Amino acid sequence: MDVQNKTRALIEAAMMTALTSIFAIVRIYIPILTFISFFIPVPLTILGKKHGLKFTIISVFASGMIIGMFTEPIYSIFITILYGSVSVAMGYMMNKKYKPSKILLSTMLVAIISLALCIQMASKISGIDMVGQMIDMFDQAINMNISLQEKIGTDQAQMEQMKVMLENMLQMMKMMIPFMVISAGGFLAYINYRLTTYVLKRLGHKVEALPPIREVRLPKSIVMGTFLIMGLTIMTKNLGFANYTTLVLNVFLIFQFIYLIQGVAVVSYFMHSYKLRKPLRIFIYIFLLLNQMTAFMLAIIGFIDAIIDVRNRRKIN
C-alpha cells in the first residue's frame, strides 16, 4: 500500500471509529434508539472490506477505548468482543471475496460464540448472573400481567388457568435461552450483512449480495445430519451431563428454525412462479410466520423439500 492509499485508509479508519462510537454511545443514552445496535458493526465492516484486516482491528480497539470513556467498562468490552468480532470476520471475508453464504454462516458462528462469551464475561466481571437476570425479567413481566388481570376483575377460574399457562411459558423461556442466544447471533450476522452490502452498493462498490430467499437451499447432507444429531441427543438421556429436556427442546427448535427457512424459500418460489403481487406476498409471509401452527407446517415443508427437492422437480416437470 503506497503512502497516499495508507493515508486515505487511516482517515477512513478514524471516521469509521468515530461513527461506531457515536452509534454505541447514543444507543445507551437514548433508549428509544436501541435499534441502532444493529448499525454498530456496519462502519467497521465496510472499513474491513475496503482496506483489510489491520485497519479494522485498529478501529475496533480504538472504538472500544472511546466508548469506555463515556460508558461503563463492561459495555465497552461487550461492544469490542461482540460487534468487533463480527466486523473483523465479515470485513475480512468480504475483502477476500468469499461467497456470500460462507461469509454469512461463518459470521453467524462468530457472533454466537462471541455473544455467549460476552454473557459469561459480564457475569464474571459484575458478579451478576446475566441469564438469571433475563429469567427475572420474564418473571416480572408475568407477575405484572397477573396483577393487571386481578385489577380489572378477571374471573377466578380464568385467573388460575392464566397463572398455569404463564408459569409454563416462563419454564419454557428458561429452557429456550440457548436457542435465543443462537437466534440473536444469527440475526445479528444476517442483518449486518444486509446493511453492509446495501451501504457498499450505495457507495458504488461492487459486492455480491445474498441470493433471493426463493433460491435458498440447505446442503444435501442436512437431513442425514439432522437424524445423526437427534440420535446423539437421545443417547445423552442416561449420561446425566446436561438437562435432557432442555437439550432436546433446543435441538428441536434449532432444526425447526433451519427447516422453517427452507419452507419459506419453497413458498416464496411458488409465489414468484405464480407471479403474486408484492403486497399479497408480504401478507402471506406475515400470516404464515406469526401463526405457530403454520410456522411449524412451513418447517415440515422445508424438511420435505430437503429430502425430495420439490422446486427442482417442478422445474424438470
pLDDT digits (tens, 9 = 90+) for 46-103: 988 888 888 889 999 999 899 888 888 888 888 888 889 999 999 999 888 888 888 9
pLDDT digits (tens, 9 = 90+) for 238-295: 766 667 788 888 888 899 999 999 999 999 998 988 888 888 888 988 888 888 889 8
What torsion, rounded to 10 degrees, do the Cα atoms 56, 60, 61, 67 define? 150
Please report, rounded to a whole number, the percentage of residues in the chain having pLDDT higher than 90: 12
What gap in Å lies between CA 307 and CA 217, rounded to an integer? 11
Same domain, residue pair 218 and 264: yes
Which residues 6+ apart lie within 8 Å of 11 measured at CB?
Answer: none
Whole-number pLDDT of residue 89:
92
In a domain, 208, yes or no: no
What gap in Å lies between CA 304 and CA 188, rounded to an integer? 28
Supply the angle between the helices 53-70 and 3-29 in degrees, to the nearest 10: 30
Same domain, residue pair 77 and 223: no
Same domain, residue pair 187 and 135: no
In a domain, 88, yes or no: yes
pTM of the model: 0.80
Q: How many CA atoms lie within 13 A of 216 on its CB side?
A: 20
Same domain, residue pair 225 and 302: yes
Number of structural domains found in the chain:
3
Helix (H, G, I), strand (E, B) or coil at 274: coil
In a domain, 45, yes or no: yes
Same domain, residue pair 32 and 153: no
Task: Flag whether pLDDT at 193 surpasses 60.
Answer: yes
Same domain, residue pair 96 and 158: no
Task: List the CATH number of the domain containing 38.
Answer: 1.10.1760
Domain, as residue range, for 294: 213-316
Same domain, residue pair 159 and 296: no
In a domain, 21, yes or no: yes
